[in-house]
Amino acid sequence: MIKKAILLIVLIISLIISVNLAVRSIYTSNIEEPSVESSANPSAITEVEKDPQSPKPVNSNNTDDTEVAQHIPVLMYHHLLKNDENIFKNNSSILSVESFQEHMELLYKEGYTTLTLKQLENFLLKKEQFPKKSVVITFDDGYKSNYKYAYQILKQYGFVASIFMITDKISDTTVPFDPTQLQYLSWEEMELSKDVFEFVGHSHNLHHLDNNGKSYLISKPKEEITEDLRKNLEIIHNPYFAYPYGHYNSETIEILQNLGYKMAFTINEGSVKPGDHLFELKRHSIFPYTTIQNFLEKLK
């Protein structure tokens, strides 16, 4: 009898142990492992949001005035040709491709950020702050060489620039580049380069001088000037302007403002800062005789 009782007790204990192990196994199998995808997702979002070609405003709460731009240089270029193909040696508006490459490389190595004109407008209106080393790059007239040479160089360094277009000169067809001719951008080239360039106004068909050396923009009747600038804006759809030959007067400013333009640039030397007249903005002209030392001085 004692042996049977002991055997019965052993069987009961074994049964209890088996049931306990089964319950623990079921409980453990229902616990979820941490999701690898969810734990990695925040980092993926952070990487997607980074955009090295789109300068971000500086958070004024985390910086002091020495780290943000107090003024910004606006550089003015025109036509580019390689040294060995330039037959217009006395034309001060033609810069060598080699010099332009050198300028952009210097800006890149010095850590400069390029801004769009909208960003510059926000800076001037005190809506945004940008790094101390910020610069705006502009080209006047809309030459084909801007696409042929400047586009690839700017893209190489992740820079953006603005081209002030004479809209009557925009070509409907794209032709081969000829350094012996003064050629203008085509609609196709503008479309292909819009990841680097923004296109803005430089008049439609008033980029001429009269017999007294005055720009048509100030010597023609007000009605003709108004119609030209209206057409320029309708074609470009971008409310920024540069005065042909730098000529303007109070009437020109009034016309631009009434048509909805937001800013206009002169050829007067200097950088721009908040408080400047938005329709009398200065720029730094870049010429073939501009040395690297001169170039550095313009950036200060």
pLDDT band at 276 (very low <50, low <70, confident <90, very high): very high
**With bands split at pLDDT 50, 70 and 90, how would you rate the model's confidence at 277?**
very high
Closest by Cα among 100, 93, 87, 221 to 159: 100
Q: What is the mean pLDDT of the chain?
A: 85
- Please state, in angstroms and rounded to a whole number, the distance separating the CA atoms of residues 287 and 91: 9
**Whole-number Å distance between alpha carbons of 163 and 184:** 12
In a domain, residue 156? The reply is yes
Q: Is the pLDDT of residue 293 over 90?
A: yes
* Residue percentage of the chain with pLDDT more than 90: 77
The domain that contains 285 carries what CATH number? 3.20.20.370
> Is 32 contained in some domain?
no
Give the containing element (helix H, strand E) for 253.
helix 250-259
pLDDT tens-place string over residues 69-93 = 999 999 999 999 999 999 998 999 9
In a domain? residue 272: yes
Kindly state whether residue 3 falls inside one of the protein's structural domains. no
Instruction: Give the max Cα distance, the chain.
Output: 135
Does any domain span residue 267?
yes
pLDDT of amino acid 22: 41
Task: Report the pLDDT averaged over residues 206-215.
Answer: 97
The domain containing residue 239 runs over which residues?
A: 71-299
| Residue pLDDT, tens place only, 12-67 | 445 444 434 443 433 333 333 333 233 333 322 222 233 434 555 543 334 455 69
Residue 240 lies in a domain: yes
Report the C-alpha gap between 290 and 90 in whole angstroms.
14
Residue with tokens 């955009």, as numbered in its chain: 51
Domain-embedded: residue 41: no
Question: What global pTM score does this model have?
Answer: 0.80
pLDDT at site 89: 87
Give pLDDT tens digits for 130-146: 999 999 999 999 999 99
What is the domain count for the chain?
1
Question: What's the CA gap between 115 and 63, in Å, rounded?
Answer: 20
pLDDT at 26: 37
* 59 inside domain: no
Q: What is the pLDDT of residues 280-290, one digit of tens each?
A: 999 999 999 99
Question: What's the pLDDT at 55?
Answer: 53
